Amino acid sequence: MIANIGFGLLVITLVTSLIAVITAVYGVTSKTRAMLETSRLAALSTFPLLSMSVAALLALLLSGKFEYVYVYQTTSLSMPVYLKIAALWGGQQGSLLFWCWLLSGFTFIVLIRKWKQDHDLLPWVIVVTNITLFFFMVLVLFFENPFLKYYILYNGEVITSLFQPFHAITAHPTDGSGLNPLLRHFGMVVHPPMLYLGFVGFIIPFAYAIAALIEGRTDDRWLKATRRWSLMAWLFLSLGLILGSRWAYDVLGWGGYWSWDPVEISAFMPWLTGTAYLHSMVMQDKRGLFKHWNVALIILTFCLVIFGTFLTRSGLFSSVHAFSESQIGPAFFIFIAVMFVASLGLLLYRWSSLSSNYQIKSFFSRESAFLYNNLLFLAIFAICLLGVIFPILSELFTGQQVTVGPQFYESAAGPLFALLLLLMGIVPLTAWSTSSARNLGKTVWKPALLSLVFPILAVVLSAKNWIAVIAIWLAALVICVTLYDYIRSIRLRAANHHEPLWKAFLTLTTRNRRRYGGYIIHLGVALMGMGIIGIEFFQTQTQAMLKQGESLDLSGYTITYRDLQITDTPDGRNVAKAEISISRDNQELKVVYPRIDYYYDSEQAVTIPGLRTTLADDLYIILVDWEPVTSEGATIKVFRNPLMNWFWIGSIVAVIGTLLALWPSTIRKSIAKEEA
């Protein structure tokens, strides 16, 4: 019954989204107010409809109705409640429904908040969001339905169907196969919703941009209306990527956090174009520049969002993320192509009216720096796209399967990331409009000199790789310049307004949140850069088979294998847990317990590392194998990841910076209050 209601609501949502599109187009073209109101109500109603459908699926998941295919495939009796909730997005069908629900929710918020304010643009926003919703609803209903049920035919064959076939009875499995063990981790519980919030969030600025193009509103109203949306989408996408990295670090046992897997890259590509868009948005906002560029970037980001979902869902690339394959690939491909061509066509149609009067006057001005920043992001994106699609092209045209691994991305995109750090380092001190290399040098030399302390320290601490030393200097440059400019502004504010430093700091930060939020984000990124440099250039590793009491040495640490215990747990796991002691200079630092969890229900093993983490380095220890009979010997692999913790600290700092930039301005609020 619950499933029937859930399915029925999906059908109604599909029809409603179509009605919203048709009435919006008709309402605008015929200038019929009633039609526009119908469109608004139809678009608004998709959210409660889908909310009820999601609730129906959740009810099935929580109550263990294993006769439903999705419930059987993603849950089991032994799973805790929070994982049963996470199963909503843990499988193909549920995650697509979740995607639709988020999109309808975001559209709902926009329509509730902005209908009066943006009444000329919003009908077209409804068209764009509801065309997208309609497409995804078609996928959910006709290709990936989460409400399918198991039936047993008269000949004993088990089939899946939405409706009960003639002479068939419902199958009642006593337990489900459970969620993929790799996904039973907090990072993975939170990672997909964050990623989807980011993905779907970028659809709103895209819809506004298209609405502005259709309406011929080529000023920056669409951009200003969606500034916060874009930043919020970027924040969620960043959080999704960071949490995914943490999940990989904790669960996959690679010794790292990023493996340049095609599906990882498919989420990284919209982040790259989205970040470029956030920067060029500033240029249009402050100087009226990059109008074409901004529209092109948001179109590209939208297409990459759909492309990212396509890559994960279509089964085109098999990886740990692409947890199942389906028949929806061609439909996705056609949708992306149609949306891309239509959006690009609109952009070309409005090309001339998007031109700007403002000019870039110098190679060293801040405007130029933003241009270089955008080009660098796009170049990295192009390299990522090449790496992702090349294996497909190779198989298509030559029949040969190839792998494009981390080495390609690191060598091709690495220098560009270094240039991005350089730009981040100097941009806060560049002047708007006219500037020269000499002027830039005059302002940058002090913090640049200070930043040299870091690479010198690295060399003193025996860093021999000159590329790593340069990379450290670049990250340090960002930190020094950002702090230098921040501190200088605080001191000046304190001097000019006769305020104590702390008050000057608070006033500056709270009154210009976008600027200083950006600074804090840059600081966070530089710290993350330190972590990346540490693991990329200075990671060491060793592996050996040890008997009880035996040790191995790595970079000054002594790792001793003490014991191994193998137990069965009540939640259906066989756990092999090693006891490993970490010591240095004959002093024990920590005992860690790396383990391998074997899940009986899915017949899958998960490697959980033992971790000792400090600000200087991480010791990441994996139990690779053990002597099956005596358990006296075990193969242990140890990674030393220098500076790794700074990657996570940096990501938290960047998130704080983004939240600061997102926070509504109190000044504007008080003005609005006064006006009211």
Partner 1 sequence: MKIKNKTLLLVAVAILFSCFATPVRAQEITPTVSDDEVNRVAQQLYCPVCENTPLDVCPTKACAQWRELIREKIALGWSDQQIKRYFAEQYGGQVLAVPPLQGLNWIVYVLPPLVVIGGIYLAITIVKRSRKSVIPEETDLVPSPPPASETVMEQIEKDLQKEERS
Residues from 646 through 675 that contact partner 1 (CB under 8 A) = 665, 667-668, 671
Compute the distance between CA of residue 326 and CA of residue 308 in angstroms, rounded to an integer. Answer: 15
- The least distance separating partner 1 from the CB of residue 546, rounded to whole angstroms, comes to 11
Q: Site residues for partner 1, window 565-604 (CB under 8 A)?
A: 596
Does residue 360 belong to the site contacting partner 1 (CB under 8 A)? yes
488: CB partners within 8 A, 6+ apart: none
Does residue 117 belong to the site contacting partner 1 (CB under 8 A)? no
- The least distance separating partner 1 from the CB of residue 379, rounded to whole angstroms, comes to 5
Q: Site residues for partner 1, window 442-471 (CB under 8 A)?
A: 442-443
Does residue 228 belong to the site contacting partner 1 (CB under 8 A)? no
Q: Which residues of 184-215 are buried (b: 16+ CB within 10 A; e: fewer)?
A: bbebbbbbbbbbbbbbbbbbbbbbbbbbbbbb
C-beta of 394 vs 613, nearer to partner 1: 394
C-beta of 28 vs 477, nearer to partner 1: 477
C-beta of 176 vs 262, nearer to partner 1: 262
Angular region, 588: left φ>0, alpha ψ -120 to 50, beta rest: beta
- The least distance separating partner 1 from the CB of residue 553, rounded to whole angstroms, comes to 12
C-beta of 159 vs 671, nearer to partner 1: 671
- The least distance separating partner 1 from the CB of residue 431, rounded to whole angstroms, comes to 5
C-beta of 82 vs 502, nearer to partner 1: 502
Does residue 438 belong to the site contacting partner 1 (CB under 8 A)? yes
- The least distance separating partner 1 from the CB of residue 487, rounded to whole angstroms, comes to 11
Does residue 352 belong to the site contacting partner 1 (CB under 8 A)? no
C-beta of 542 vs 583, nearer to partner 1: 542
Q: Report the Cα 101 to chain-centroid distance in Å.
A: 18
For 30-83, the DSSP string reads HT-HHHHHHHHHHHHHHHHHHHHHHHHHHHHHHTT-TTBHHHHHH--TTS-HHH
C-beta of 70 vs 519, nearer to partner 1: 519
348: CB partners within 8 A, 6+ apart: none
Does residue 635 belong to the site contacting partner 1 (CB under 8 A)? yes
Binding partner 1 (rule: CB under 8 A), the pick from 327, 436, 569, 630 is 436
- The least distance separating partner 1 from the CB of residue 183, rounded to whole angstroms, comes to 16
Q: Site residues for partner 1, window 485-544 (CB under 8 A)?
A: 485, 488-489, 492-493, 496, 508, 511-512, 514-515, 541-544
Stretch that binds partner 1, among 326-334, 439-447, 523-531, 585-593 (CB under 8 A): 439-447
Q: Do you know the residue count of the chain?
A: 676
C-beta of 202 vs 293, nearer to partner 1: 293
The phi, psi pair for 622, rounded to 5°, reads -120, 140
Q: Which two tokens stand for residue 27?
A: 């309402």
Determine contact, residues 140/10, Cβ cutoff 8 Å. yes
- The least distance separating partner 1 from the CB of residue 416, rounded to whole angstroms, comes to 7
Compute the distance between CA of residue 551 and CA of residue 544 in angstroms, rounded to an integer. Answer: 9
**Distance separating the N- and C-terminal Cα atoms of the chain:** 51
Q: Site residues for partner 1, window 251-280 (CB under 8 A)?
A: 252-255, 259, 261-262
C-beta of 172 vs 511, nearer to partner 1: 511
DSSP type of residue 316: S
Q: What are the C-alpha distances in Å from 118 to residues 115, 217, 218, 225, 628?
A: 6, 12, 14, 9, 68
Compute the distance between CA of residue 414 and CA of residue 471 in angstroms, rounded to an integer. Answer: 10
For 90-124, the DSSP string reads TSHHHHHHHHHHHHHHHHHHHHHHHTTTTTTTHHH
Q: Which two tokens stand for residue 492?
A: 């000046």
- The least distance separating partner 1 from the CB of residue 146, rounded to whole angstroms, comes to 26
Dihedral, CA atoms, 175, 177, 179, 182, nearest 10 degrees?
A: 140
- The least distance separating partner 1 from the CB of residue 248, rounded to whole angstroms, comes to 11
Compute the distance between CA of residue 557 and CA of residue 534 in angstroms, rounded to an integer. Answer: 17
- The least distance separating partner 1 from the CB of residue 171, rounded to whole angstroms, comes to 31
Among candidate residues 548, 554, 552, 527, the one with its CA nearest the CA of residue 641? 554
132: CB partners within 8 A, 6+ apart: 103, 203, 306, 339
Q: What is the largest CA-CA distance in the chain?
A: 89
Residues 381-420, one symbol each (x = binds partner 1 by CB under 8 A, - = not), give -xx--xx--xx-xx--xx-xxxxxxxxx---xx--x----
Does residue 619 belong to the site contacting partner 1 (CB under 8 A)? no
- The least distance separating partner 1 from the CB of residue 438, rounded to whole angstroms, comes to 6
Residues 55-94, one symbol each (x = binds partner 1 by CB under 8 A, - = not), give ----------------------------------------
Q: Residue ranges of the alpha helices (H) in 115-202?
A: 122-138, 186-201
- The least distance separating partner 1 from the CB of residue 356, rounded to whole angstroms, comes to 9
Q: Site residues for partner 1, window 138-177 (CB under 8 A)?
A: none
Counting residues that bind partner 1 (by CB under 8 A) gives 84
